[in-house]
Structure 1
């Protein structure tokens, strides 16, 4: 069955499944801790997962030269500042 798919497409789909599993695990952690501050930290941490998965799939697809790394830097910086703001608040 997997021979029908292009290798890059197969890996992209597998990374999306991994990303979705991480999201579900984060939701379960939020329910377990049952605290708004911890839920916000977990939710903000998910802001790191999306760009990492995207970078990995872009690298697999061979399109990394077409995407600006500086844009991903700003995404990671924003997620870091959200977590910092929650921890210091």
Structure 2
């Protein structure tokens, strides 16, 4: 009973975080500045990592945590790339 309640709580938390991530898409589309868009993309990526980890814990699938770790590393590299692109003013090297 307690394990089922915990599992359901983790799944509800993942769903709530998913809704917040969907709401952040508005900031990515509208802006108003490039920095706002970059931060919103980074927050969405981090939220997806947490959602995958919560789903893995809630469903009892340990493999999801590996996927969350790899996605977190890719999100970090995306942040570095976007930062470099913004410093260069959008010009490729």
Q: Which residue of 2 aligns with 1:3?
A: none
Contact 1:15–1:53, Cα closer than 8 Å, also in 2 = yes
Moved over 3 A (4+): 28-31
* Equivalences, count: 82
Deviation of 1:58 after TM superposition, in Å, equals: 0.6
Change (3 A) 1:78 1:63: same
Residue range with higher mean Cα deviation, 46-55 or 78-87: 78-87
Instruction: Give the match's secondary structure for 1:84.
Output: helix
Q: TM-score, normalised by structure 2?
A: 0.57
Higher relative contact order (CA 8 A, sep 6+): 1
Deviation of 1:41 after TM superposition, in Å, equals: 2.9
Across the aligned residues of Structure 1 and Structure 2, the Cα RMSD in angstroms comes to 3.0
Q: TM-score, normalised by structure 1?
A: 0.58
Q: Which residue of 2 aligns with 1:43?
A: 41
Q: Which residue of 1 aligns with 2:20?
A: 21
Segments of 5+ residues of structure 1 without an aligned counterpart are 1-5
Segments of 5+ residues of structure 2 without an aligned counterpart are 89-93
Deviation of 1:19 after TM superposition, in Å, equals: 2.0
